[in-house]
Amino acid sequence: MTLFLEQLLNGLQFGVMLFLLAAGLTLIFGIMGVINLAHGSIYMVGAYAGTWVAMQTGSFFLGIPAALAAAALVGAAIEFLIVRRLYKRDHLDQVLATFALILIFNQVVTLLFGRQPLFVSIPPLLDGSVQLLPGLPYPVYRLAIIVVGLLIAVGLYLLINKTRIGMLVRAGSTNREMVRALGVDVRVLYTIVFGLGALLAGLAGMMAGPILAVQVGMGEQILITTFVVVVIGGVGSIRGAFVASLLLGVVDTMLRAYLPSMLRHVMVGPEADALGAGIASMGIYLLMALVLLIRPKGLFASNF
Amino acid sequence: MDNSIKKQILLAVVAVLLLALPFIASATGYPAMTSLATRALIYGIAAASLNLVLGYGGMVSFGHAAFFGLGGYVVGILYQHYTQDDLFLGLVPGTNQLLVTLPVTLIVCGAAAALIGALSLRTGGVQFIMITLAFAQMLFFLFVSLKTYGGDDGLIIRRTNELFGLKMRDKQTYYYVCLAITAVFFFLLWRLVNSRFGNVLTGLRQNARRMAALGLPAYRYKLVAFIISGMGAGLAGCLMANFLRFASPDMVHWTKSGELMVMVVLGGVGTLFGPLIGAAAYIVLESVLASWTEYWQLGLGFILLFVVLYTNGGIEALFGRLLGRRV
Amino acid sequence: MSGPILSVRGLVKRFGGLVATDGVTIDVRPDEIHALIGPNGAGKTTLISQLVGELRHDAGTIELEGRDIGALPTARRIGLGLGRTFQITCLLPEYTVLDNVATGVQVRQGHSFRFWGNVRGETALRETALSFLETIGLAGRADEQVANLSHGEQKQLELAVALATEPRLLLLDEPMAGLGHSESRQMVALLMALKTKVSMLLVEHDMDAVFALADRISVLVYGRVIATGTADEIRDNADVRAAYLGEGDELC
């Protein structure tokens, strides 16, 4: 039982990480109609910048502002130099241009930091575990990620539902033309949304640092999973992104944790492990297929 | 001179050059050229298949590596069972005959494309891109986890499939086999895009709303196009696995889908021979850049960015402009 | 069949809190041109969109020749005999004029799973398409690219393409919009000549055209039909006058 709870928390932690990326991705698509493959690269930039600063200064907490600043800077630069030219282009051009950005970012990062992954240790303040229930110790750091992720979800909810920018964002995700008609300077709105998405991605990258290896290609791995989140949640829906992120995080973690041992009941050990791991890594895609069968536009697609 | 005559002459010249290529290669002291050209032909088939849905049908698939890789694995898996003399799933015997592996590839990839297409075509636009990408990634993870078939490391195919007792291991022979298959493939594709089917497919890209108002049930036409396209990419994968004598998860990797897309765009979206030119350009670019630096993808990234942002229609359009066709 | 070709009963469409179509009931009889008029924002195009199935209605029924088509997708409705033209022209921009119509003929025939023969070489298909262009008076421009057509010609082509689908009922969304005076008169004459072949529901702002063509007129205001009748009845209707005067528009 405690093992199950622990896995549930792990799933939750993976889920909020996905949410930080999915929220930006879905907003950028919802508001600007741009599919941004380079979102994963921003995540990687955040991870590298934060981890590197943390390694140099020895302070994880100095790494956080560095990660945020680098991600925001790179995000703004991408928006200003490239993505701004793509708003009126078709999806193919957007995919190709941002695919080119992935290639460029991956190579530049390799040039700067080499092919060896970077590692940063968990800051002492967040090291160790805490007894959540009797017999259920859980790492403080992962708990912190969950808390930060949930706080950000609440913050986004307030931002979108209670502020003027949020009002424009909501209007923009259902009717892009209307926002233009309201006489809002859409370029400013776009930059704000893109910057916000980049910040969240950078933060996710930084937080991932101590848990995962910081390496080239980390962005694309999570980007594709994030796409699955966005498809399941419904493109343009923050609420959908939130629910789908947590769902996927938990489903993925549970499958990885339990499927091999379940298969071991019916087949020999190593083969069960391999097959189990394989099917587990396919799980979220099968979930996506299921959602497509039932609700092709996603669970929380805006109806109009 | 009439443009259609110009085109025919150009086509004839290219055909002669392609036929003579292995001789030119050995005469000029660049025997590696034959291998490069073989790869270009194979990728040309894959890119042209992608172009059928992408350029003609307007469906931006970011998952065609799935079919390319699947085609490769059909060859690899059948070969492994052939050498081990056992049955795939306890049912299907292995083989090393191209005349068997090729049709099997087409059937398997057609079925996979039918499944993936049936699901992803339930939505369109940006979801379609994400979903095709995701399904290809799913296949990638599947092959990585199949330890029986090499897992991460891939499957070595010790000998190229046999065909009519030809010396398939010989680079020149294999080049000519690929050239013949490429010629047949492009002939079929040419008929297809000019047929009634091609007509409605192109219409769907131009204006889906108009086609619906004509009474066209779009879904089934898009799905059939997607299946044909998947089979084409599978064919290329089958040839590639035979060429490399290797099938690996790399063939299914998402960057492969991206590369195929880049080839289409380099050559010209929605043109018959554009993808072939684009594939050749990509292969040459890759080998030239890679000989300069191990960071060659950086250069590729910038070139791609330039092509997307500042050119319109790729290399074939450039040729077209030089030939004095439409601007 | 003596009943109406199109029979719409109690159609409702809501967008959030806004009721765009509010219990619309309307009939089109065989060989009739039924005009639908109303001030801007009355919900005329919204109604057309529901009839062809681009929008799903929330309540009510749509029957074509006695058959409920309300749940069918657009393509099926067209197949059953519905045809439409678009207010803002909706053509295949990369094709020639003839190819646009020929594609319509091809889809009507239903044999689009043919992968071998050259579609541009099918003389029967092209001759049929050409005959529709002759009907519409656009045969001289058959090989022109759509992009090179004038606005009036594009409107005519819209009509030719719609006819190529051989509709029993034609939904015309402002066929005169943007046309000059002589072009409008040409279009009126064209529609008049077509009247015996196909029934029409005509959405139009050009009152001269409406009064010249329509057998009956319905007036749509704020998503509701406030009056249906002959031209004379509508002219004399107090509610209609009020609605139009309220908009600052002049009737006739």
Chains contacting C with at least 3 CB pairs below 8 Å? B
Give yes or no for residue B314 having a pLDDT over 60. no
What are A136's two structure tokens? 């259920």
Question: How many residues does this entry show for chain C?
Answer: 252
Work out the pLDDT band at B315, boundaries 50, 70, 90.
Answer: low
Averaged over successive runs of 10 residues, the pLDDT of chain A (304 residues) comes to: 83 91 86 86 92 86 90 90 84 90 92 86 79 80 89 88 78 65 72 88 88 86 89 85 92 86 76 76 86 84 51
Angle between helix axes B125-145 and A218-233 (nearest 10 degrees) is 130
C103/B203 CB distance under 8 A: yes
| Element housing A257 (H / E) | helix A238-263
What's the confidence (pLDDT) of residue B66?
94
Q: Is the residue at B203 inside a domain?
A: yes
pLDDT band at C43 (very low <50, low <70, confident <90, very high): confident
Classify residue B292: in a domain, yes or no. Answer: no
How sure is the predictor about B320, in pLDDT bands with cuts at 50, 70 and 90?
Answer: low
Residue of C nearest to B190 (CA): C116
Q: Which domains can be identified in chain A, with CATH numbers?
A: 2-294 (1.10.3470)
The reply to whether residue A95 touches residue B60, judged by beta carbons under 8 angstroms, is yes
Q: What is the pLDDT of residue B67?
A: 96
- The angle, 0 to 180 degrees and rounded to 10, between the axes of the packed helices B125-145 and B65-84 is 20
Report yes or no on B269 lying in a domain. no
Q: How many CB pairs under 8 A join A and B?
A: 123
Q: Which residues 189-248 in chain C show a CB within 8 A of chain B?
A: none
Structural domain that includes position B146: 16-252
- pLDDT at residue B327, rounded to an integer: 33
Residue B208 within any structural domain of the chain: yes
Largest CA distance in chain B: 63
> Which residues are CB-neighbours of A136 under 8 A, at least 6 positions away?
A2, A5, A6
What are the φ and ψ backbone dihedral angles of A88, each rounded to 5 degrees?
-95, 0
pLDDT of residue A184: 66
pLDDT in tens, C97-150: 999 999 989 998 887 888 887 888 888 889 898 888 988 888 888 888 998 988
Mean predicted lDDT score pLDDT of chain C: 86
> Percent of chain B, pLDDT > 90?
44
Alpha helices in chain B (DSSP H): 3-27, 32-51, 65-84, 98-120, 125-145, 171-193, 196-206, 208-213, 218-244, 254-267, 274-292, 296-310, 314-322
Which of C48-53's residues contact partners 24+ apart within 8 Å by CB, and which partners?
C48/C84, C48/C171, C48/C173, C48/C201, C48/C203, C50/C11, C50/C13, C50/C21, C51/C6, C51/C8, C51/C77, C51/C82, C51/C84, C51/C171, C51/C201, C52/B213, C52/C77, C52/C78, C52/C82, C52/C84, C52/C171, C53/C77
Give the pLDDT confidence score for residue A5 in this predicted structure. Answer: 85
Q: Output the pLDDT for position B187.
A: 93
Distance from CA of B167 to the nearest CA of A (A): 38
Judging by DSSP bridges, how do beta strands C59-64 and C216-221 pair with one another? unpaired
Q: Which residues of B touch A281 (CB under 8 A)?
A: 141, 144-145
Residue C118: predicted pLDDT = 83
Q: Chain C partners of B221 at a C-beta cutoff of 8 Å?
A: 112-113
* pLDDT at residue number B140: 92
Among B192, B203, B215, select the one facing C108 at the smallest CB separation.
Answer: B215
Task: Please determine, for residue B90, whether its predicted confidence score (pLDDT) is greater than 50.
Answer: yes
Domains of chain C, residue spans:
1-81+167-252, 93-165
Among B192, B200, B206, beta carbon nearest to C107: B200
Contact partners for chain A, using 3 or more CB pairs closer than 8 A, are: B
Closest partner residue to A93 (CB to CB) among B127, B141, B308 is B308
Task: Decide if pLDDT at C187 tops 60.
Answer: yes
Q: Hey, which of A266-270, B306-310, C82-86 has the most confident mean pLDDT? A: C82-86
Residue C246 has pLDDT above 70, yes or no: no
Choose the closest CB to C112 out of B197, B209, B213.
Answer: B197
Can you give the pLDDT at residue A175?
65
Backbone angles phi, psi at C28, to 5 degrees: -125, 125
Mean pLDDT of C14-21: 81
**Given an 8 Å threshold on Cβ–Cβ distance, is B212 in contact with C78?**
yes
> Which pLDDT does position A172 carry in this prediction?
67
pLDDT tens for each residue of B137-190: 899 988 988 878 888 888 888 887 778 877 778 888 889 999 999 999 999 999
Among chain B residues, the shortest Cα distance to A36 is held by B126
Closest in C78, C106, C120 to B213, CB measured: C78
**CA of A290: which chain B residue's CA is closest?**
B119
Q: Is the pLDDT of residue B75 over 70?
A: yes
Identify the residue among B137, B139, B253 best suited for mutation to test binding to A, counting A beta carbons within 10 A and taking the highest: B137
% residues pLDDT > 90 (chain C)? 28
Name the A residues in 59-98 with CB < 8 Å from any B CB: 82, 85, 91-93, 95-97
- Contact flag C75-B221 (C-beta cutoff 8 Å): no
pLDDT one-digit tens code per residue, B110-134: 999 999 999 989 888 888 988 899 8
- At residue B162, φ and ψ (nearest 5 deg) are -90, 150
* Mean predicted confidence (pLDDT) in C165-175: 91
Reduce the DSSP state of residue B214 to 3 states and report it: coil
**Neighboring chains of B (3 or more beta-carbon pairs < 8 A):** A, C
Q: State the pLDDT at residue B2.
A: 66
Q: What is the domain class of C1-81+167-252 according to CATH? A: alpha beta
Q: Shortest CA distance to A256 belongs to which of A18, A7, A16?
A: A7
> Is the pLDDT assigned to residue B269 strictly greater than 90?
no
DSSP single-letter state for residue B54: I
Q: Is C163 exposed, middle or buried (0-12, 13-18, 19+ CB in 10 A)?
A: buried
Using an 8 Å Cβ cutoff, are B69 and B249 in contact?
Answer: yes
Residue B327 covered by a domain:
no
Q: Give me the pLDDT at residue B319, please.
A: 58
- Domain total for chain B? 1
